[in-house]
Amino acid sequence: MRPSVSIIQFPGVNCEYETRLALEKCGMDAAIVRWNEPLSRLERSDGFVLPGGFSYEDRVRAGAIAAADDVLAVLTEQARAGKPVVGICNGAQVLVEAGLVPGTDVGAVDLALAPNKGMGRDGYYANWVFVTVASPPKESVITYSLEPGEIIPIPIANSQGRFTSSRRGIFERLDGEGQVVLKYCRSDGRSAQGFPDDPNGSSCLAAAIANPHGNVVAMMPHPERGTWLRQVPDELASDWSARKIARRGSWKALEDFGPCAGIFHSLRSYIEERL
C-alpha cells in the first residue's frame, strides 16, 4: 500500500499542487488538506508536508501566524508519535516559529529564519544551489535513503531563509548531534564560502534542520522543483544538466527523476520502514 501524506494548505501558500505531484511521482498518495478542515482528517495520514509560499501573507513575520493555528497542535502530537513532518520553505518557517524545530525542548522557539544577509547581498533570492547531505545515514526523514556527502542541486526561493539564533553554541550542538541534515555547498561538495553558494548567510551553512528524532525537518530549499529531470536547467555545473540535455527530444525521458527526488524517496522509505 502506498503511504499517504497530507499537505497542509494555509491561506497564502502556493506550492501545494506541485508538492502533491512530486509526492505522487515518488510513490505516495498525497492529499491537500486546508488548515480549517476538521483536524480529525489528519489522523490517518502517515506523514505531513507544509509546503512553500506565503502563509497569511507573511504577516508579522514569515510563518508566525500559521504557527499559532490549531493544526500545529495536531502535527505536534503526530510528530510525537513518530510520524514525519516536513516543512519546505514557508513550511520550514512555520515549524521553526512553532518550536517543532530544532525541537530539543518541544514548543520552545530556539531559532529563527531571519532575512537573508549574505556577503554584499541581501533580499529575495531564487536560483539553483547545491546542498550536501550532512547527517549520518538514516538519521532524518529527508535524507533516509541518501548517502552522507551526497551532493544535490536544488532550487531555493526565499527572502527569509537564514537560520539564526541568539543562543550561543546552538548550531555547533545541532551539527554535532546530526540535526543539521543539509548544508549549502559548492558544486563539487566543498563548503560554501559566501554568496551565491551560501545564498543567505545561514549559521553553520544550514539548509535543513531536523528535530532530535529526525522525523521533523525544516528545509528551506524546494525539492518539488527538482523532482523531474525536465526541471533541471541546462547550465547547471552538474552531471544532471548533461543527463537532461542528452534526453532532450524525448518527453517521456524528461519525465525521469530529477536530482531532488531522493528527498521524497527518503520520506517514502522512512514511512515504509519506520511506521
Partner 1 sequence: MLDVLVRLRAADPWSFTVLDTLVRKDGLDNIVAVTRLKSWRLDFGATAPEAALAITRRLLRETALLANPNRDTWLVRGAAGDGPAQTLWKPGGETAETFVVRVSDREDLVGKSLVRVLRGRLGLLEIVDVHFASVWLLEMRRGGPEARALAETVAVTTSWRKGLLSNPHFQTAEVAGAETYLLGGEVS
In the bound complex, what is the minimum distance in angstroms from residue 112's beta carbon to partner 1?
4
Measured between alpha carbons, how far is 268 from 84 in angstroms, rounded to an integer?
A: 10
Sequence-distant (6+) residues with CB within 8 A of 91 are 8, 13, 49, 50, 51, 52, 218
The residue type at 71: V
Q: Between 67 and 174, whose beta carbon lies closer to partner 1?
A: 67
Q: Which of 15, 222, 260, 265 is catalytic?
A: 222
170: part of which helix (H) or strand (E)? helix 170-176
The residue type at 24: E
In the bound complex, what is the minimum distance in angstroms from residue 199's beta carbon to partner 1?
15
Measured between alpha carbons, how far is 133 from 196 in angstroms, rounded to an integer?
A: 19
Q: Between 30 and 64, whose beta carbon lies closer to partner 1?
A: 64
Q: Between 117 and 274, whose beta carbon lies closer to partner 1?
A: 117
In the bound complex, what is the minimum distance in angstroms from residue 238's beta carbon to partner 1?
31
Catalytic-residue membership of 89: yes
Q: Which of 16, 97, 139, 224 is catalytic?
A: 224
Q: Between 117 and 186, whose beta carbon lies closer to partner 1?
A: 117
In the bound complex, what is the minimum distance in angstroms from residue 123's beta carbon to partner 1?
7
Quote the cell numbers at residue 108.
520552545
Catalytic-residue membership of 222: yes
- Asked if residues 149 and 92 have their Cβ atoms less than 8 Å apart, the reply is no
Q: Which residues of 71-82 are buried (b: 16+ CB within 10 A; e: fewer)?
A: bbebbbebbeee
User: Three-state DSSP class for 216?
Assistant: strand
Residues near partner 1 (CB under 8 A)? 56-57, 59-61, 64-65, 67-70, 72, 76, 97-99, 107-112, 114-115, 117, 122-123, 164-167
Measured between alpha carbons, how far is 153 from 144 in angstroms, rounded to an integer?
A: 17
Q: Between 204 and 229, whose beta carbon lies closer to partner 1?
A: 204
In the bound complex, what is the minimum distance in angstroms from residue 206's beta carbon to partner 1?
13
Nearest to 114 by CA among 53, 78, 163: 163
Give Cα separations from 132 to 152, 173, 184, 186, 234 (angstroms): 6, 19, 6, 9, 21
The residue type at 163: F
Q: Which of 89, 185, 204, 260 is catalytic?
A: 89
Active site residues: 89, 222, 224
